Amino acid sequence: MAVTTFRRGRAPKDPEGRMPLREHLEELRKRLFRAALFIVVGAAAGWWLWPNVVLPTLESPFDGIGNSGGLNFAGAVSPLDIQVKGALWVGLIVSSPVWIYQLWAFVTPGLTRRERTWAIGFVSAGVPLFLAGMALAWYILPTTMGLITQFTPDDAYNFIDAPSYLSFVMRLLLAFGIAFLVPVVLVALNFAGLLSGGAVLKQWRITVFLCFLFSAVFTPTPDALTMIVMAMPMIFLFAVATTICVLNDKRRRRRDGAPELERLSDDEASPL
């Protein structure tokens, strides 16, 4: 008589990647824990890098600006507080390959084995774009600081509050880094089947408007040329992401053997 044995373990995965809510929450907790662990490890290195490398670099936009007396730490605890924040900020940048991959792994749990190998491409594109966004924000930072400090009277010095300035710079760099990462996330959502290329394409007017609005808010300069220069790279990246999403939708329809669906508009009901 044959004896059937049962092994205790994790339940088999749905081939389409569907999970109950509890498993989604557990997956999110696991991804967040791994990302946070590497951010903390990076912050350990950032603790040394902040006073020796990062802080002098962030102070450099004041070089050559008239009537700027440098940064001022008003409170006794301010240097420690800003160093803790700076170390975590450096850890977030250093660990970007890890948490960007964790983002991909959470958004796309149901891909095939072949499509999972595209995670290398996702990280390879996401990390440089994240850093490129930060570099672009760093490029316009001296102009921004020059505009802010130009109203200082000639017979006075501008001692800028260090925590406020450094917090502003860190938020500015992260905002542009994440803005450059959003198109890659759209591609990941499309690969996971959660967002169609047609839906992204329909919202191109709103996307262009939001890019210009984002650029106008984070580039407080009086000329429109700077706003346009900042907005165009983001618009270009969204255009590339939309193209990839549309092409991937066509590839998926051909693979699924439903070419007749390509002739239907997004608002037209299928014969099925």
| Domain interval for residue 72 | 21-250
pLDDT digits (tens, 9 = 90+) for 78-110: 888 888 999 999 999 999 889 888 887 777 666
Q: What is the pLDDT of residue 4?
A: 47
pTM of the complete model:
0.73
Q: What is the pLDDT of residue 257?
A: 66
Q: What is the pLDDT of residue 186?
A: 87
Q: What is the pLDDT of residue 142?
A: 76
Residue 267 is assigned to a structural domain of this protein: no
Q: What is the pLDDT of residue 28?
A: 83
Residue 16 is assigned to a structural domain of this protein: no
Confidence at 223, pLDDT banded by 50, 70, 90: low
Chain-wide mean pLDDT for the chain?
77
Where residue 257 falls (left for φ over 0; alpha for ψ -120 to 50; beta otherwise) is: left
pLDDT digits (tens, 9 = 90+) for 23-51: 778 888 888 898 999 999 999 999 998 88
Residue 266 is assigned to a structural domain of this protein: no
Q: Is the pLDDT of residue 59 over 50?
A: yes
Residue 255 is assigned to a structural domain of this protein: no
Give the CA distances from residue 193 to residues 45, 125, 248, in Å, rounded to whole numbers and listed in that order: 38, 20, 10
Residue 272 is assigned to a structural domain of this protein: no
Q: What angle do CA 189, 241, 188 make, to 5 degrees?
A: 20
Per the structure, the count of domains in the chain is 1
Q: What is the pLDDT of residue 11?
A: 47
Return the amino acid letter for 96. Answer: S
Cβ count near 158 (within 10 Å):
18
Residue 257 is assigned to a structural domain of this protein: no
